[in-house]
Amino acid sequence: MTGLMGTRCRHSLTAWRSPKTSGMCQLREVPRPDKPNFATILPVRPVQGEIPDDPAAAFWAEQAPANFPLAGQVTVTPEIFTPSIDMITVRAVYSDSEIAFPSELG
């Protein structure tokens, strides 16, 4: 039987109330004080002139980041519930002749 979001945790009320299975799955929110604001779309801003190739250029610090959460895959063995990379940050700009998407894995 599969359960919550593809896991093997049973999701029926009787499973949660049963003394045999009550400790099987414990869902909790882990506090994350530096939690970023997650994005659902990637805004792409127009710029004038050439887009810098250097990801460390001051130009990129001025561009607003979009943070997208990543989740582990839990449908195929090995099931990875807590991936080592849980977010990707992307900035995006375009000019008359080019577009750029510098990304950072977090």
* Least confident piece of the model among 19-33, 47-61, 84-98: 19-33
DSSP state of 62: T
Q: Both 97 and 66 in a single domain?
A: yes
Range of the structural domain that residue 14 is part of: 1-30
Q: Is the predicted pLDDT of residue 81 greater than 70, yes or no? A: yes
CA 10 – CA 31 distance, rounded (Å): 25
Give the residue among 44, 34, 45, 42 at the shortest CA–CA distance from 67. Answer: 42
Which tens digit of pLDDT belongs to each residue from 66-77? 999 888 877 888
Q: Both 39 and 25 in a single domain?
A: no
Q: Is the predicted pLDDT of residue 3 greater than 60, yes or no? A: no
Q: Residue 99 is encoded by which pair of tokens? A: 């577009």
What is the average pLDDT score of the chain? 75
Which is more confident, 41 or 28? 41
Query: How many structural domains is the chain composed of?
Result: 2
Q: Both 42 and 23 in a single domain?
A: no
Burial class (CB in 10 A: 0-12, 13-18, 19+), 91: buried
